């Protein structure tokens, strides 16, 4: 005859195992317009506080980022792990080094790293949009302010997961199985840069710079950037590239002055 302990132990363990196996949400949730906030929404209501910068004296820093040497070869991305991606974007290429014919370097995040002192800036309410289209993040590099909504859209008829790997900001990972799904996220801490990736499609990645001010720019294929509306002063300007690293320069701008900077990254 079996001892009572054996019977009780086996029953409890079997019950736990069955419960875990049966645990689930039942039918799939059809959320075509889901909105989630993974971080607190921007504080305050009504009209945002005015910018601390006097437009009459604001300065501008512009410039161009170039690449010196033989640029890395642009490789085609292998999309065979998802037939939808193969059909939707057959010509997808890597974009870790986007170099124009004149050596201009794209996807460089240029921003004011230092010099704004204790100035505080209003948080924009307009969202910055990160789209997943053709199994590709658009844009590849972007900037956003603390508390500003980041709207992440799945424009594809396939599943993506949105995985933000912040170090200062909390890591998150959300699934977007339905085409048209949107989610909204805000960041609470300055961080340059936060990598984003899709764990379903390993080639998909993006970079987001989170700042407490609006002075940032991402170079396009022509390599140019523009930081407008700066209060007169001395600033440290940093140019960040995902593979080529960072470079900084110091610039002093007077009232209504425009200064030009050049950054050159080498292989």
Partner 1 sequence: MLPLFAALVAASTAALIFAGGLVTSTASGLAVPDWPNTYGWFMWTFPLSKMVGGIFYEHLHRLVASTVGFLIVVLAIWLYRAEPRPWVRRLGYVALAAVITQGILGGITVLWYLPDAISIAHASLAQIVFCLTTTIALVTSRGWQHGYQPPTANHQPADITLERIALVTTITIYIQIVIGATMRHTGAGLAIPDFPLAFGHIIPTHWDAKIVIHFAHRAGAAVVTLLIAATSGHVLYHHRRRGELVRPAILLLMLVAFQITLGALTVLSQKQFIINSLHVVNGALVLVASLVLTLRAHYSRFAGSASPGAYASLDPAHVRGADSMLDEGERAWTRRGASA
* Neighbour count for residue 28 (Cβ, 10 Å): 8
Tell me which residue of 72, 71, 67, 76 sits closest to 94, measured CA to CA. 76
* Mask for 200-219, x = binds partner 1 (CB under 8 A): xxx-----------------
Residue of 107, 158, 169, 186 interacting with partner 1 (CB under 8 A): 158
Residue of 177, 195, 232, 233 interacting with partner 1 (CB under 8 A): 177
Identify which of residues 69 and 90 has a Cβ nearer to partner 1 in the complex. 90
Identify which of residues 86 and 131 has a Cβ nearer to partner 1 in the complex. 86
Pairing of strands 258-266, 137-138: unpaired
Q: Round to whole Å and give the CA distance between 94 and 205.
A: 10
* Paired strand residues for 68: 266
Site size toward partner 1 (CB under 8 A) is: 39
Taking CB under 8 A as the rule, does residue 68 contact partner 1? no
- H or E stretch including 151? strand 150-154
Q: Name the one range near partner 1 by CB under 8 A: 67-75, 117-125, 192-200, 253-261.
A: 192-200
Residue of 23, 43, 56, 73 interacting with partner 1 (CB under 8 A): 23
Is 114:215 a contact under the CB 8 Å cutoff? no
Taking CB under 8 A as the rule, does residue 37 contact partner 1? no
């Amino acid at each position: 005859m079996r001892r009572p302990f054996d019977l009780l132990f086996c029953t409890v363990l079997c019950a736990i195992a069955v419960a875990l196996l049966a645990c689930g949400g039942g039918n799939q949730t059809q959320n075509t317009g889901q909105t989630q906030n993974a971080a607190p929404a921007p504080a305050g209501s009504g009209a945002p506080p005015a910018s601390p910068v006097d437009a009459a004296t604001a300065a501008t820093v512009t410039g161009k980022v170039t690449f010196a040497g033989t640029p890395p070869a642009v490789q085609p991305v292998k999309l065979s792990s998802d037939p939808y991606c193969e059909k939707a974007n057959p010509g997808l290429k890597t974009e870790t080094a986007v170099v124009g014919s004149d050596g201009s370097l794209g996807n460089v995040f240029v921003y004011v790293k230092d010099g704004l002192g204790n100035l505080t800036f209003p948080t924009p309410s307009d969202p910055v949009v990160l789209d997943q289209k053709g199994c590709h993040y658009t844009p590849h590099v972007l900037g956003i302010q603390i508390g500003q909504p980041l709207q992440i859209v799945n424009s594809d008829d396939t599943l993506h997961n949105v995985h933000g790997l912040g170090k200062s900001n909390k890591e998150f990972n959300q699934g977007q199985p339905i085409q048209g799904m949107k989610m909204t996220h805000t960041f609470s801490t300055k961080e340059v840069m936060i990598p984003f990736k899709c764990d379903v499609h390993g080639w998909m990645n993006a970079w987001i710079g989170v700042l407490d001010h609006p002075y940032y720019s991402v170079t396009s294929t022509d390599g140019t950037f523009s930081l407008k509306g700066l209060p007169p002063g001395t600033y440290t300007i940093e140019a960040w590239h995902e593979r080529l690293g960072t470079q900084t320069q110091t610039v002093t701008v007077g009232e209504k002055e425009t200064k030009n900077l050049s950054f050159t990254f080498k292989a």
